[in-house]
Amino acid sequence: MKLGILKTGTPPAGLEHFGSYPAMFEKLLGESAYDYAVYDVQAGHLPDRPEACPAYVLTGSANGAYEDLPWIGQLTEFLQQTRGRAALVGICFGHQIMAQAFGGKVIQSPHGWGQGAHRYDVLQNEPWLGGARTITLPASHQDQVVELPPNAEVIAASTFSPFGMLAWRDQRAISLQLHPEFEPDYAMALAETRRGNGLSDTEVDRAVASLREPNDQVRAAGWIRSFLTKALGEA
């Protein structure tokens, strides 16, 4: 199956050796599991039509979904055109831009940085979640969804992120604020870039310590693959 990766960001300077965000997703989901097609959305590259791929994954980004940038407007329009024509999986910025494109609201949260390993409680079990009751994965975000889009339901959340994971009921789409594609080493290095630059030493130390603990990365890869299999089986 062809899987489009909509690349909306890059690792910060000095962390390029960890690989690109599309490469992280290919490793997460299995390099031979799909026929991957990468589109550099920040450079203005989008599929020529929504049906170019039966499904798309949207990556993280340092930009905000609310920023007035040409590529964000182009991506928003593409997502609106894609509704019901391809399956969607949004991660972090991908989660936020999907929520905004479909009628929700995203802001820079007054809660500040979400950093380290965060745990969400599963509020609405889905067949592809395999009975999971919690989700623990790396977080790295200032922005948050603060208003639910129409026809979307919160399926996992925390006190810090009340709209942490969404499923749409009028299309084949899910999104997650957390980062299943981040390996612990990358997540820790990313947290270190914010030491004294948005986060205190104590906050960074706490985040790094949490990222050394086991998380649900392997299970999350299975959840995404199961969602795509189910979604495309129903297409």
Name the active-site residue from 92, 95, 126, 141.
92
CA gap 139, 187 in Å, rounded: 8
H/E stretch holding 77 reads helix 70-82
CA gap 207, 198 in Å, rounded: 13
CA gap 53, 85 in Å, rounded: 9
CA gap 75, 61 in Å, rounded: 13
Concerning whether 192 is annotated as a catalytic residue, the answer is no
Concerning whether 181 is annotated as a catalytic residue, the answer is yes
For helices 201-211 and 184-192, give the axis angle rounded to 10 degrees. 180
In this structure, how many other beta carbons lie within 10 angstroms of the beta carbon of residue 63?
Answer: 17
Total-model pTM: 0.97
Q: What is the pLDDT of residue 61?
A: 98
Q: What does the pLDDT profile of the chain (235 residues) look like in tens digits?
A: 999 999 999 999 999 999 999 999 999 999 999 999 999 999 999 999 999 999 999 999 999 999 999 999 999 999 999 999 999 999 999 999 999 999 999 999 998 899 999 999 999 989 999 999 999 999 999 999 999 999 999 999 999 999 999 999 999 999 999 999 999 999 999 999 999 988 999 999 999 999 999 999 999 999 999 999 999 986 5
Name the active-site residue from 95, 126, 141, 181.
181
Name the active-site residue from 95, 118, 141, 179.
179
Question: Which tokens hold the place of 209?
Answer: 């310590």
Amino acid at position 126, single letter? E
| Residue 28, phi then psi, degrees to nearest 5 | -60, -50
CA gap 155, 95 in Å, rounded: 13
Per residue in 164-223, pLDDT tens? 999 999 999 999 999 999 999 999 999 999 999 889 999 999 999 999 999 999 999 999
Q: What is the pLDDT of residue 111?
A: 87
Concerning whether 45 is annotated as a catalytic residue, the answer is no
Cα-Cα-Cα-Cα dihedral of 219, 235, 89, 100, to 10°?
-140
Q: What's the gap between Cα 36 and its chain centre?
A: 17
Domains in the chain (CATH in brackets) are 2-183+216-233 (3.40.50.880)
3-state secondary structure of 52: helix
